Amino acid sequence: MSDPATVSNPSSRQHAESSKSIQCQPSLIIKLPPELLEQIFEEFVHDGRHSPIVLAHVCRLWREITDDRGSLWRHIDLQMPGQAKHHLIHSHWHTVDVVWLNRSYGPGARQGDYREWLWSSSYRFASLSLVHKSEILSIIFRSIGTYLPELVDLTVIGQDMSLALRSFVSITAQMPRLKRLNLSRLTVTSDDLAQLLSGCSALEKIELIGITTALGRAVFTAGPRQPSISLPKLEEMSLVSLHPSSQCIILSRLIFPPRSSLRVTGAMNDLHFDTILHPDMLLRFRPCFTAMTVGNYSVLLSEPLNDQGCALTLEVLLDHRSNGTITLPIHSGDLDSVQILEFTSPAQQGRFNWRAIFNSAHALETVRLRDDHDTPVEMTVAEYRERYMAVSD
């Protein structure tokens, strides 16, 4: 039976008929060519936050596209085991990106669920990011293949709350295409670390954060029985919060290519850089620092990239709780070649004993700072002395 209001009102009747006609028309997105839909789907899943399972449930055409395009299923999140296995099956022969960010500090026995169907496919891994307890990480790398030909990115972060709880993690697989390596809060042996770096000749970037090394069967030092490790494509290496002895174990056999950089970061707990970088390594690299940057939480001493070898940057983490004037942990000779001094904020000028800096930096030419209006200012040493040092006197 017709609605009386619709019958009595012709415009309402026309509107109802128009709405019905629109509802009967297929969605415009259904008419898009499959090639364009594939590009849209790739964009939808590219960051791994969305699963193509959602797309496959829309219609038969979309399900056919997602089933045929294995690259849509390359993201595998091991926090969701059912979905992860589904992704691996549908990825076919494509490389996959595997992530396991453990969100529970409880027992991790569930890693056994993945051993049969995932670790046996490790030859297809393009990236692997694991954040878990060292005990579980150790089991994973014992189960994983010894040759990972497609792996480009490797991140392994331990979740153990204290050093005493760490298990040794042995990562010795050969990864000829690995470009980026990030290891954090792990305990490794010198043998395993040497084997890992030796099998990754394509490395471009290395980050080692809070790594503890222990001597294995052989001492990790260069010598007749300990061949050097060459990383010809290395661009940047970063060591953060490593004990000086661990620095020697890691750096002693590495050959850095020209125009590469090494950045060493450590806390300020002494008045010498010996606690930031081992003295033997300072003698090896013989840095010629040309710039000093004073920030809110750290001080950087850096030298420019050159064709002769590796450029060294030392980063000293500061205790921001200190209220008094801070004396930088430097020898007088550390600043002999510094030409540029930069303060990143106005407050930094009042925190440091910059008179000691000026007295040690005999080659200093330029001072860069920000004024009270946060405007960048550059001046000569003479101008700085006249404007700031004379005022304080």
The pLDDT tens digits for 235-281 are 999 999 888 778 888 888 899 999 999 999 887 654 445 567 777 88
Contact 127, 98 (CB under 8 A): yes
Which residues in 239-261 are b (16+ Cβ under 10 Å) and which e? bbbbebebbbbbbbbbebeeebb
Q: What is the pLDDT of residues 327-347, one digit of tens each?
A: 555 554 577 889 998 988 776
Most confidently predicted of 210-214, 234-238, 321-325, 334-338: 234-238
Q: Nearest 5°: phi and psi at 326? A: -95, 130
Residue with tokens 């930088």: 328
Alpha helices in the chain, H assignment, sequence order: 4-8, 10-24, 34-45, 52-56, 60-68, 81-90, 112-115, 134-143, 190-198, 244-251, 279-285, 354-360, 381-384, 390-392
Amino acid at 67: D
Give DSSP secondary structure letters for 4-70.
HHHHH-HHHHHHHHHHHHHHHSPPGGGGS-HHHHHHHHHHHHTTSSS-HHHHHTT-HHHHHHHHH-G
> Using 50, 70 and 90 to split pLDDT, how confident is the model at 108?
very low
CATH number of the domain at 284-393, please? 3.30.420
The span from the CA of 163 to the CA of 199, in Å, is 27
104-113, 180-189, 320-329: range with lowest mean pLDDT = 104-113
In the chain, the N- to C-terminal Cα span, in Å, equals 98
Residue with tokens 């008179």: 355
Average pLDDT for 147-163: 91
Quote the radius of gyration of the chain (alpha carbons, Å).
29
The span from the CA of 268 to the CA of 276, in Å, is 8
Contact 241, 209 (CB under 8 A): yes
Q: What is the pLDDT of residues 7-30, one digit of tens each?
A: 555 566 565 555 555 455 556 666
Q: What is the pLDDT of residues 31-82, one digit of tens each?
A: 778 778 878 887 887 777 788 888 788 888 888 888 888 888 888 888 877 7
Q: What is the pLDDT of residue 366?
A: 93
What integer best gives the mean pLDDT of the chain? 79
The span from the CA of 218 to the CA of 261, in Å, is 27
Q: What is the pLDDT of residue 352?
A: 66
Its pTM stands at 0.80
Q: What is the pLDDT of residues 281-321, one digit of tens each?
A: 888 888 888 998 888 778 888 999 888 789 999 888 876 65
* Structure letter (DSSP) for residue 333: G
